[in-house]
Amino acid sequence: MKHMSIGVLGHVDHGKTSLVKALTGIDTDLLKEEHERGLSIVPGFAYIHSNNTFIDLIDLPGHESFIKNMVSGASGISSILLVIAVNEGIMPQTIEHLDIASVLGINKGIVVLTKIDLLSKNEIIKEREKIKNFLKDTFLKNFNLHEVSSISRSGIDALKGLLVKDAASFEKKEIIESNFFLPIDRIFHKQGFGTIVTGTLRHGNLDNKSEVILLPQEEKLSIRSIHVNNKEVPQAEKGQRVAINLRGIKISNLNRGNVVSSQNFLKKTIAFEAKIKILERPSCRLKNNSIVHVLVGTLDVSARIKISKKNILSQGEEALVKFFFNTPVVTHEHEKFVIRSFSPSKTIGGGEITKIIDTQDFKKEVLTPRKKINHSKKDILDINLDKDQLEVIKNIEEKYLSLEYNIESEENILDGSEIAKQMNRLLLKQGKLVSLKLYDRRIKYLTHRINLDKVKKIIEQEFPYPDKFTISQVRDLLASSRKSVIPIMEHFDATGITERFGDYRRLKNKF
């Protein structure tokens, strides 16, 4: 059986979802708000089956607010369909999606010009030249442009035939891999079945008798059944879209970004080494010791970067670096990843993991030198405690900021020292941290004001008054969890930002 996974990329409203439906008959917009708002929020999945060939089509969100959802869905794809609406041409997310595909190591694809029924033939010819000129410095420079209309179906059958032909000739690298892992991108409950997780199998083969472990929770689980392309199968292969029905775990204990793996194969880490490259864009640069978003597998996590022998990497430059995380990361050597800056939020490069740093190595390499530095500066700190306090404040702020849309208890953020507690109270007094106002006053959660303002801004953009929304919609929008979203929404209710109507909320009219 031949199999290929193809990511459908492109700017918002360029016709990706309509194209996938025209090719497969499957509507990949499953969320109610996706239909209401006319845009994809999370990746959607469809497939083409022809003779002995299966093609998974992964419809990736085009809006800039959902880039991390886009990267999550792109994990493990072999090829792309770059969708460009001929009436609009090259747009910002056309460029960013192609950049992301490049840093993820994808080197083949098809360019599809949609909405051809909106322009005359002469106008289409002019637009084709502009697009060809844009593509000449990319990995798609030698690939043809295919014109389609999802409404009239012009060009659809020809494109489908080409996809099947390419998939039939696609050759996987035949490497025997006894271990497997699957980064989770969707989690849901199905009546009569229980908890189901989905993702693209990134390594090895998985069968329904496999002993698996959920990471980073380190919880051993068993498999009830495996589904590929809506059919129960005894085994799934590397590169396939897989749904796993798990026994013995509740949805509340799972998060997107978790990994289902062979036992004794992967370990959680808080650091890895990598070879990275900065994009060939004038505005792309990366400073040593800066904090960035790292999007690896289906995980989006903050990291501090250490660059060897340089202070700044500029456009097009490569380097060996180390990433240090505040939360556990589960991944594998040779996995590709994307680097995005915090402010402004944009893709600046990517790379490949060269070494997972073991916890013991991390302690030797990072913690011990730090202790020596603290000891050597003891006299200075005794004389001027402000430096010590500033360092603690900086570390606490970074931890809160790295959580982004997730909420953790103080116990999980602070190291337990008295100075950490004092500086935490100071940040709260200064207004940099916010104590969330909850229905249950016995519970105390803090978050950074910047993160809270980001959530407010996203809700204002996506659900303007009088649109109503649910906790689940906000959870999916932020790629967070109910456990984190509920306290934030209770705080917004209490502070007059939102008002609640049963299971629904909306912004108050003043916004």
Work out the mean pLDDT of the chain and round it to a whole number: 85
Residue 316 has pLDDT above 80, yes or no: yes
Q: What is the pLDDT of residue 173?
A: 59
In sequence order, what E strands does 312-449 have?
312-313, 318-329, 336-341, 346-356, 433-435, 446-448
Answer yes or no: do 290 and 240 share one domain: no
The mean per-residue pLDDT over the stretch 369-385 comes to 35
Answer yes or no: do 256 and 207 share one domain: yes
3-state secondary structure of 248: coil
Find, among 430, 427, 345, the residue nearest to 394 by Cα.
Answer: 427
The tens digit of pLDDT for each residue in 46-70 reads 889 888 788 889 888 766 666 777 8
Residue 230 has pLDDT above 80, yes or no: yes
Burial class of residue 185 in the structure, from the number of CB atoms within 10 Å of its CB (0-12 exposed, 13-18 middle, 19+ buried): buried
Range of the domain at 508: 385-511
The mean per-residue pLDDT over the stretch 8-25 comes to 91
End-to-end CA distance of the chain: 55
Residue 141 lies in a domain: yes
Q: Which long-range contacts (CB under 8 A, 24 or more apart) does 425-433 make?
A: 426/393, 427/393, 427/396, 427/397, 432/397, 433/400
**pLDDT-based confidence at residue 115 (cuts at 50, 70, 90):** very high
Residue 370 lies in a domain: no
CATH at residue 356: 2.40.30.10
Cis peptide before 464 (omega within 30 of 0): no
**pLDDT-based confidence at residue 382 (cuts at 50, 70, 90):** very low
- More confident: 336 or 143: 336
The tens digit of pLDDT for each residue in 84-105 reads 999 999 999 899 999 999 999 9
Residue 380 has pLDDT above 60, yes or no: no
Pairing label, strands 318-329, 299-307: antiparallel
Residue 412 lies in a domain: yes
Q: What is the pLDDT of residue 66?
A: 66
CA–CA dist 491, 453 (Å, integer): 12
Answer yes or no: do 138 and 210 share one domain: no
Q: What is the pLDDT of residue 366?
A: 43
Residue 193 has pLDDT above 60, yes or no: yes
Answer yes or no: do 413 and 499 share one domain: yes
Residue 175 has pLDDT above 60, yes or no: no
Residue 216 lies in a domain: yes
The mean per-residue pLDDT over the stretch 192-203 comes to 88
Which amino acid appears at position 22 of this protein?
Answer: A
The tens digit of pLDDT for each residue in 446-492 reads 999 999 999 998 898 888 888 899 999 898 888 788 999 999 999 99
**pLDDT-based confidence at residue 337 (cuts at 50, 70, 90):** very high
Least confident of 33-47, 249-263, 345-359, 470-484: 33-47
| pTM given for the model | 0.68
Answer yes or no: do 147 and 280 share one domain: no
Burial class of residue 418 in the structure, from the number of CB atoms within 10 Å of its CB (0-12 exposed, 13-18 middle, 19+ buried): exposed
Residue 303 has pLDDT above 70, yes or no: yes
Contact 299, 266 (CB under 8 A): no
Answer yes or no: do 397 and 464 share one domain: yes
Percent of the residues in the chain that have a pLDDT greater than 90, as a whole number = 45
Q: What is the pLDDT of residue 360?
A: 57
CA–CA dist 195, 246 (Å, integer): 6
Query: Is residue 126 within a helix (H) or strand (E), and if so which, with residue range?
Result: helix 121-135
Residue 511 has pLDDT above 60, yes or no: no
Answer yes or no: do 48 and 138 share one domain: yes
CA–CA dist 45, 16 (Å, integer): 12
Least confident of 42-51, 288-297, 348-357: 42-51
Give the number of domains in the chain: 4
The mean per-residue pLDDT over the stretch 336-345 comes to 84
**pLDDT-based confidence at residue 506 (cuts at 50, 70, 90):** very high
The mean per-residue pLDDT over the stretch 121-132 comes to 93
Find, among 146, 161, 157, 149, the residue nearest to 53 by Cα.
Answer: 161
3-state secondary structure of 461: helix
Q: What is the pLDDT of residue 174?
A: 54
Contact 336, 105 (CB under 8 A): yes
Q: Which residues pair with 312 in a beta bridge?
A: 287
Answer yes or no: do 409 and 474 share one domain: yes
